[in-house]
Structure 1
């Protein structure tokens, strides 16, 4: 096929995928779509099926909120705002709402939109500034497309495709269609930062040619929690999962960050900012670019380009510092979170450090397959001074010393301990047993807020009471409520969250006192213990929960699962 294919055909194929239940059935249906496309359309379709408008290596974003999509749908269809909001409560998906509004039009819309033209539309949206101009552009497109096309255009603009696939599903589809190993396809996606490019390489049997591209985020390796269980001591529990000798280091109470540094290639389309002949990018755990919010780290990181001009990628933590350069509690960092830039005054008031504990690439070559011990040796190349620090790693043979090491880490102002297998490779996006996190002072869970309620007394104007949930499993994103918390956040934090919750309400009850909300706000909660409960579908309830902190660095897809709750309750 030489001409760009119909976007309507792609939209209908994605609807078919969404309607199927089996993972392999979904992958095979997606494969049928991919097989019919030329290389250019395959690149686009693979990205979109993974839920991304642009590749990870592309710094452009469409930046469209629900309010703008609602206004665009009203302009394109003449629908009433109250009717659209009621439909959103009923359907729970802005794409479905827009499709329903267009479906009601008489006469029905006919469309000749191609996949190539749809890409051009997304590029226009990314390049257009101002809410009014964006809304007009989107409304113009919605007025010329079919309901099915509108559904997936809006889903992509909203950043929630919801077809039960994601990047992993696209990898599975490519693997099954072209007979390639899934691990090989995943590696190509990781190296290039572009599932679309990996799709074409898979088609041509050239996955081995995928090479590392800097300045796009690589998904972080994750750790599993470990603690004493039943009659097993902490040492016995750790030894069961990671036999000694092991690497032990402090678990820092900051925000996870990935730093990319290289001699400036002069490509302004790349993520990152130029600094002193180098280019520096910082990515958060949610894979968002945050270097402009931390210019006090960009300047010193740029110096690393001298030691590795072809590039280095570091995994680490951004932590707040006290007046003597000591690490201070995470709460001090809250003032710097959620900001696109940081003033000089804010940088002085809340200084930070970047603590590196791993290296993912050096001299432009990936180091992911090297052992943890080998990767640690590569960090010796750099000068760790000022706000750039290196995690101190100890090789521990006697796990009975873990309790004392934990207490020492807490005395240094850190959260706990990390225990890592010395021979472990770096596994992007994986949560295995090679890395364990030990936090034993308080049991905590990362949860997502599903409903909010107005408080009492001085907080009667604030949505301060949060109902929260965990995921059903690592592979099942169904949210299951496990508790409700009333305390732990400041009035200023609650005021900002109240505004957000009011704009992202799905349904209201009790004359607006109670609201179900879009499940995007992640919080860390502490509690005394876990009880079996018939009140929640999860079957569990947290006893005396309180909010420890907002987790703006963590997406809802990475919150804790029901298995973790069950383990804490002693049921696993």
Structure 2
């Protein structure tokens, strides 16, 4: 490890290197070599920056600064300094805000003043924490000061971070590979790293656990990591089967059955602030008391946090859930639930519930669309970690917790035969639910894991497809006729390949969209447009779109059947969807939670 502090210029140079490389394995080895030269704290910061952030996903740390504001700032600066550059024109020509700012910096003659990684990180947090009246002007001042002290290359990656356009196509999964290489030179540490990230979804903190450690010491450090309320646990996932008859072959008999809701997955945390103090997180010093907990003024400093399956903090969006959690007598817990909107005694569809995800007018929204949290599991209770207990025991423990007004205990039944299972399934479908989840009595809660301990049986099984399919939008087509006015006529959908941490396009989806949706989608995708095909996206030649977009938005489709595609069998398992149509746009899932290539192959084989 070197003695001097790492500069932001060195970080920018490594960013440039990995951006020019297509091979995931080569990127992994290059990053691992670079990490070995860093201090633990520098490695933590780099881990966030690679993902385009300054903190984990569950920490509210958005820059809230648009590319439009940046272009306006630079045009005013160029005019005041009489610099010959048309910033908007160059942005349109180059197709990338980072390259545009790099050119701007070159025209201005800016040179690097040797800012350290820590100094750049402080500056980024300064932008995040600038809020309220006049915040745009104050952010402009910070950004301009930074650009004047950066080289053109540093400026390029600095603005890409604040505009949310870093887009290396690297996820936390690739970083876990990198961490394994840092310690042992291969991927053999991944199981330990996956478990650790599963119970502490903070990529920077995970790096601090293994930094400058030999294998045995790193493994021990990861194994000592425990669940902590306030830090989200990766949600347990469910597997699908090809038929109802297969269910008990997988789970054994008897098994537990719970309703499958079409809601927003929500992890509910309650704890006292003093219990959060024993770990050092590099980002924590930048947060105010309000950021750390919603109820900072409450007696005994009781904190409540609500997290989605994407690790987003939605505490302030669902105040009735938070208040009900606070009212529960137990001092600390982590509950797993689904949040559902309801009206006139009936639960609402997912898209209606999603209207509650807003930062403003929350009071009005809660009156128009009240929500309930349907609680189906408990992971932590009164200082005790429960995830290693069997599912049956956790459900029994959960049944003894007295829920608050906007929280309701999910009904759990034990079944031993197919007739009873089918009866419960049909009862839930008639209630408007998606189906049921069947769970093995034994088995611990495995964060982020998908296996046959938990199985979903959905009403779509009654049709040709075993299940709906979650695709990632990687491009769109202009369309013709009336749809040409919307700018989007159809979407290119891709599967996630967990082996390559990439995406593989399988079909064009143009049915099921309303005119209003298409207009909205065009605006949403404009900020994600890529100049060419992203390096982490594979696409058959006959499916290539008019416009490529960064793989981020997940949408759900149903189709008549899964079909074999002739040619290019190496993409998407050689499969496609016949007559795909939209079910839900912009699901509450990250792109690597979309349906995997291996899953679609399995679904094809089931039928």
Task: Please state how far the C-alpha of 1:73 moved relative to its aligned partner.
Answer: 6.5
**2:563 counterpart (501, 518, 531):** 531
Q: Which residue of 1 aligns with 2:381?
A: 362
- Where does structure 2 lack aligned partners over 5 or more consecutive residues? 275-287, 533-544
Task: Please state how far the C-alpha of 1:520 moved relative to its aligned partner.
Answer: 3.4
Cα distance in 2, alignment partners of residues 554 and 109 from structure 1: 41
Task: Please state how far the C-alpha of 1:120 moved relative to its aligned partner.
Answer: 0.9
**1:381 counterpart (400, 409, 428):** 400
Describe the superposition over 1:270-294 as per-residue Cα deviations: whole angstroms up to 9, x where unpaired: 1544485432211122221112221
Counterparts of 1:308-323 in structure 2 under 5 Å?
A: 309=331, 311-323=332-344
Q: Is the 8 A contact 1:242 1:421 kept in 2?
A: yes
Task: Please state how far the C-alpha of 1:118 moved relative to its aligned partner.
Answer: 0.9
Please, which moves more after superposition, 546-555 or 152-161?
152-161
Q: Is the 8 A contact 1:249 1:393 kept in 2?
A: yes
Cα distance in 1, alignment partners of residues 563 and 492 from structure 2: 15
Q: Which residue of 1 aligns with 2:579?
A: 544
Is the alpha carbon distance of 1:216 and 1:272 closer, same or farther for their aligned partners in structure 2, counting shifts above 3 Å? Answer: farther
- 3-state DSSP of counterpart to 2:470: strand
Q: Which residue of 1 aligns with 2:94?
A: 87
Task: Please state how far the C-alpha of 1:353 moved relative to its aligned partner.
Answer: 0.7
Cα distance in 2, alignment partners of residues 441 and 275 from structure 1: 51
Task: Please state how far the C-alpha of 1:158 moved relative to its aligned partner.
Answer: 4.2
Q: Is the 8 A contact 1:235 1:402 kept in 2?
A: no
**1:126 counterpart (112, 125, 128):** 128
Counterparts of 1:267-306 in structure 2 under 5 Å?
A: 267-274=289-296, 277=299, 278-304=302-328, 306=329
**2:257 counterpart (248, 264, 267):** 248
Task: Please state how far the C-alpha of 1:317 moved relative to its aligned partner.
Answer: 0.4
Cα distance in 2, alignment partners of residues 82 and 550 from structure 1: 33
Task: Please state how far the C-alpha of 1:115 moved relative to its aligned partner.
Answer: 0.8
- 3-state DSSP of counterpart to 1:109: coil
Cα distance in 2, alignment partners of residues 259 and 142 from structure 1: 41
Is the alpha carbon distance of 1:427 and 1:149 closer, same or farther for their aligned partners in structure 2, counting shifts above 3 Å? Answer: farther
Task: Please state how far the C-alpha of 1:189 moved relative to its aligned partner.
Answer: 4.3
Please, which moves more after superposition, 381-390 or 289-298?
381-390
Pairing 1:557–2:592 present: yes
Q: Which residue of 2 aligns with 1:200?
A: 208
- 3-state DSSP of counterpart to 1:395: strand
Q: Which residue of 2 aligns with 1:137?
A: 142
Q: Which residue of 1 aligns with 2:350?
A: 330
Task: Please state how far the C-alpha of 1:319 moved relative to its aligned partner.
Answer: 1.0
Pairing 1:485–2:516 present: no
- TM-score (normalizing by structure 2): 0.79
Task: Please state how far the C-alpha of 1:370 moved relative to its aligned partner.
Answer: 2.2
Q: Is the 8 A contact 1:50 1:169 kept in 2?
A: no
Q: Is the 8 A contact 2:512 2:582 kept in 1?
A: yes
Q: Which residue of 2 aligns with 1:231?
A: none
Cα distance in 2, alignment partners of residues 125 and 288 from structure 1: 20
Task: Please state how far the C-alpha of 1:112 moved relative to its aligned partner.
Answer: 0.6
Q: Is the 8 A contact 2:496 2:594 kept in 1?
A: no
Q: Which residue of 1 aligns with 2:280?
A: none
Cα distance in 2, alignment partners of residues 286 and 395 from structure 1: 30
Is the alpha carbon distance of 1:563 and 1:65 closer, same or farther for their aligned partners in structure 2, counting shifts above 3 Å? Answer: farther
**1:262 counterpart (271, 275, 297):** 271
Describe the superposition over 1:32-56 as per-residue Cα deviations: whole angstroms up to 9, x where unpaired: 3233223332332233345532135
Counterparts of 1:114-263 in structure 2 under 5 Å?
A: 114-129=116-131, 130-159=135-164, 161-163=166-168, 165-179=170-184, 181-202=189-210, 203=212, 205=217, 206-207=221-222, 209-228=224-243, 234-236=244-246, 238-263=247-272
Describe the superposition over 1:197-243 as per-residue Cα deviations: whole angstroms up to 9, x where unpaired: 33333235444554443323322222222233xxxxx312x345433
Task: Please state how far the C-alpha of 1:365 moved relative to its aligned partner.
Answer: 3.9
Describe the superposition over 1:300-341 as per-residue Cα deviations: whole angstroms up to 9, x where unpaired: 11112x21x2x21111101122323x334334324324x114
Task: Please state how far the C-alpha of 1:10 moved relative to its aligned partner.
Answer: 2.6
Cα distance in 2, alignment partners of residues 516 and 18 from structure 1: 17
- 3-state DSSP of counterpart to 1:84: helix
Cα distance in 1, alignment partners of residues 14 and 529 from structure 2: 31
Task: Please state how far the C-alpha of 1:255 moved relative to its aligned partner.
Answer: 1.1
- Where does structure 1 lack aligned partners over 5 or more consecutive residues? 229-233
- 3-state DSSP of counterpart to 1:496: helix
Task: Please state how far the C-alpha of 1:374 moved relative to its aligned partner.
Answer: 2.4
Q: Is the 8 A contact 1:41 1:116 kept in 2?
A: yes
Is the alpha carbon distance of 1:171 and 1:474 closer, same or farther for their aligned partners in structure 2, counting shifts above 3 Å? Answer: closer
Q: Is the 8 A contact 1:462 1:495 kept in 2?
A: yes
Cα distance in 1, alignment partners of residues 337 and 319 from structure 2: 16
Q: Is the 8 A contact 1:300 1:387 kept in 2?
A: yes
Cα distance in 1, alignment partners of residues 518 and 606 from structure 2: 35
- 3-state DSSP of counterpart to 1:40: helix
- 3-state DSSP of counterpart to 2:292: coil
Q: Which residue of 1 aligns with 2:539?
A: none
Aligned length: 550
